[in-house]
Structures are given as structure tokens and as C-alpha cells.
Amino acid sequence: MADDSGPMTRPSVPEADRLIGVRRPVLGHGYVVLVDYMGNDAAIVQAARVSYGQGTRSVRDDRGLIRYLLRHRHTTPFEMVEFKILVRLPIYVARQWIRHRTASVNEYSARYSIVPDEYDLPSPAAVRRQSETNRQGRGDPLAPEVVERFRSDLDRVARAAYSAYEKALADGVARETARMVLPVAYYTEWYWKINLHNLFHFLSLRLDAHAQEEIRAYAAEIAVLARTVAPVAMEAFEEFQICGIELSRSEQRALRALLEGKSPAEACRGAGWELTRADGTPRKSGEGVEFLAKLERIRSL
């Protein structure tokens, strides 16, 4: 049964309270704002102890309990913490973000309101060649003239599109139709409400090096907010999920072979992976390559 020895109070984190309403800039015109939150580390512990019973108080302290819950994937207590965040972001980032279907979202309506004349123009360093190893991402630098041509074209197209948008509105074209001319570099915004368990999943994907740089910038700012509200839970998340390394059954087999003195190529071959192609060139992706990358992470600690 729940502890009814005293009156219930709303958990509050003074540091988080001071962040409510504060814009945290991201990209050229974007930001994240903590609108409200519910719960904190204590709320996670409270929910867990209702589930496990009073006896756990003498077994683990709060930090130890939170770390135990995360290690053993007892996720429900983390759902007791929620965040309501206002996000202003380019449409092309929003289209990636909305794939996470575990939050409540209410977006700015371009059918009802006029879209502001604000679009994302990436820095020269952000415009790079298509990656050879990550089919979704960027790789090596491009020639400066190519970078500047792209940025100039984007700037020109965005300005021309907004001019066409304004003319369409002036001619009486409905807002829901006129918005069609605007490119995905333009900004939208939404209220985003999510619990901590689902936020962990969002952050684990969007803080990853394979995620697009722009959405990683938003994820990093949201991680700061989450760390302020629930620092012990975020510490455990970073320990076990962000910095932890999972090994599949095949990877464990390969690791055992390495410990027995086999070479990396032999260990990978024994696990069913070839590190080279039929023509002898090294593979740039695949399970074997990913396994060796995990070993490099461990060596670099």
C-alpha cells in the first residue's frame, strides 16, 4: 500500500522551475522551452516502492534503486515523470522527429496562421559529401565552391518561395493551399509532451552519432532539461544505455574467440562474418565491422 503517513505534495525541482519559459536556442531560428514537468527522481522511487513493497527501503537507497530499475528494464516507474516542451524546429527535422510516436504533439497550424519568414540555412561546415558508410548521413568535406553554391541556391529558393507564398495570400489563396510552395527548410513549432521512459528511447536514437546533426542538437538541449529534472535517472540512462555496449550472441562468440587468442578476422569468421568482400576489399559496414567498432570503444576508455 502507498505511504499515507503525511500529506501529498507536488514534487518540485528548484533548478528546473527556473528553466520554465526559458528559450534554449538551437540552429538559426529554433529553440526548446521547458513549459512544465511532472515528477522527479523521487517520483520514480515512490512508484517503484509501491510496486515492490516497503521492504525495499532497507535494501537499496534511492540512487541504487533507480539504477537497478534501469539495468533490469523495469520501465513503468520512469513513466511517472513527464515533460511538456515547446519546440521550434525546421520542417525537415520535424519530419524525422514525428516518427517517434510515443509523445503527445500539437503543432502550429499553417492552415490557421501565417508561416513566419524564417528558414534554416546550414553553416558551411554542415554541408558535406554523402557518407560512404552511413547511407542516411554526411561524410567528408566538399569543395568550398560547391558548399557556397548550395547555400546560395537554398537562400535564393527560400526567398523566392516565401515571396510566392505572400503573393498567393495577397491574391486570396487559402493559407492551407498557399503553404505548399514553402520548402522544408522553413520552421514549424509544436508542444511536445513525453514521459521519461519514452524520452530515454528518443534520446538513445537522436543523440547517437548516426542521427542527423540538426536533430542531435535538439536532443542535446532536451537532455539538459531532463538531467535537471531527474539527474539520478539521467545518470543511470547515460551509464547503461548511452555509454553501455550490448553484445549479441554472435558477438559474445566472437569475443570468446578473441580471448582464446584468435585474430579479429578469425573471430569474426567463426561468428559468421567476413571482413572482406569477394574481391578482397575490406567491408565498410556489417555486423563484423560493428563488432570491431565496439571493441575500439572499449579500448578507448
Active site residues: 206
Give 242's DSSP letter. I
Give Cα 57 to chain centroid, integer Å. 34
Residue type, 31: Y
Q: Determine the Cα–Cα distance for residues 24 and 3; give it in Å rounded to an integer.
A: 38
Judge whether 275 and 289 are in contact, CB under 8 Å: yes
What would the grid cell of residue 129 be? 559529401
Site of grid cell 523566392 = 160
Judge whether 134 and 210 are in contact, CB under 8 Å: yes
CB count within 10 Å of CB 76 equals 13
Q: Determine the Cα–Cα distance for residues 223 and 243; give it in Å rounded to an integer.
A: 15
What would the grid cell of residue 159 be? 526567398
Judge whether 11 and 42 are in contact, CB under 8 Å: yes
- ∠ Cα 145 121 183 (to 5°): 110
- ∠ Cα 171 114 185 (to 5°): 105
Three-state SS at 151 = helix
Residue type, 107: E
**Nearest by Cα to 29 from 115, 114, 144, 145:** 115
Residue type, 65: L
Residue type, 214: E
β partners of residue 141: 128
